[in-house]
């Protein structure tokens, strides 16, 4: 199956971001991709405030996912809408949700980010827990012959989450991200490859690129990694682009035959 990982540089204009993401997904479809993955917050990367959330957060399906439901149905492809800000059950609390859409245009899995990004990087303080509720559940769904497990960005640092996916027999791990340049230079490739190696699974890791409203740069370097931990496609550090790879069940089976017991 041909997969595409899309690297975007989303900004504060939600409608513009959705249009750009739709255009990039269409481009990937014309290149024969059957499964296309967008990065975290592909639809909005701007100021987090009560006023902004009132217009940016949405129910699912909503304006950020409906265009991809239609595209998936019309073009018979699977699409991962990396993540969107979802209205939560509590006032002024939201969820960061990843949405997997089938080739019939149906939502087949929805994952809410479990591990929220609370960190201090230089003089920048990140505290997603101020705005978001953590998710509680894994999300697994079939994409053609592959079993796909969903996660988001900061989850990448929590290997136990992916071991749970391994025990569920997941073949492909998706990690849509807005991983920062500072942490990305030190940890991004190492962690993405580690998740592939320890679970003998493919990893699709679409990342954001460019600076956000705070002047914090995302690292780019979106990756597709094999079950043996090889980087089979990599994006640049400084521009929007699409990377492609063919993934095969045989490669997963070969890796797991060489190293039996991976899912224990």
Active site residue 40: yes
H-type helices in 60-158, by residue range? Answer: 66-75
Angle, CA of 229, 181 and 193, to the nearest 5°: 5
Instruction: Name the active-site residue from 14, 34, 40, 174.
Output: 40
CA–CA gap between residue 107 and residue 100 (Å, rounded): 6
Q: Which of 86, 87, 128, 153 is catalytic?
A: 153
Are 4 and 235 in contact by the 8 Å Cβ rule? The answer is no
> What does the alpha-carbon distance between residue 36 and residue 132 come to, in Å, rounded to a whole number?
26
The span from the CA of 1 to the CA of 248, in Å, is: 7
* Residue 210 Cα distances to 180, 214, 217, 231, angstroms: 9, 11, 5, 22
Q: How far is CA 185 from the centre of its chain?
A: 19
Helix (H, G, I), strand (E, B) or coil at 166: helix
Cα–Cα separations (whole angstroms), residue 145 to 43, 138, 167 = 29, 19, 17
14, 34, 87, 113: the catalytic one is 113
Instruction: Classify residue 228 by burial, with Cβ atoms within 10 Å: 0-12, 13-18, 19+.
Output: middle
Q: Residues with catalytic annotation?
A: 40, 113, 153
């Amino acid at each position: 199956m041909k997969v595409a990982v899309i690297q975007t540089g989303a900004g504060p204009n939600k409608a513009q971001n959705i249009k750009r993401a739709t255009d990039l997904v269409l481009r990937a479809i014309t290149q024969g991709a059957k499964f296309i993955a967008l990065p975290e917050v592909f639809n909005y990367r701007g100021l987090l405030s009560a006023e902004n959330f009132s217009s940016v957060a949405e129910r699912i399906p909503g304006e950020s996912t409906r265009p991809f439901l239609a595209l998936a149905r019309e073009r018979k492809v699977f699409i991962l809408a990396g993540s969107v800000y979802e209205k939560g059950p509590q006032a002024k609390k939201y969820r960061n949700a990843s949405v997997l859409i089938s080739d019939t245009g149906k939502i087949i899995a929805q994952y809410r980010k479990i591990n929220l990004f609370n960190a201090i990087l230089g003089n920048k303080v990140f505290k997603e827990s101020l705005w978001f509720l953590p998710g509680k559940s894994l999300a697994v769904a079939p994409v053609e012959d592959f079993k796909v497990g969903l996660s988001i960005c900061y989850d990448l640092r929590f290997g136990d989450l992916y071991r749970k996916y391994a025990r569920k027999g997941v073949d492909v791990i998706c990690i849509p991200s807005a991983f920062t340049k500072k942490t990305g230079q030190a940890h991004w490739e190492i962690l993405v490859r580690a998740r592939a190696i320890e679970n003998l699974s493919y990893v699709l890791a679409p990342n954001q690129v460019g600076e956000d409203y705070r002047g914090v740069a995302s690292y780019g370097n979106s990756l597709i990694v094999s079950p043996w931990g090889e980087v089979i496609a990599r994006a640049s550090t400084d521009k929007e682009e699409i990377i492609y790879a063919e993934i095969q069940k045989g490669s997963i089976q070969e890796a797991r035959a060489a190293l039996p017991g991976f899912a224990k």
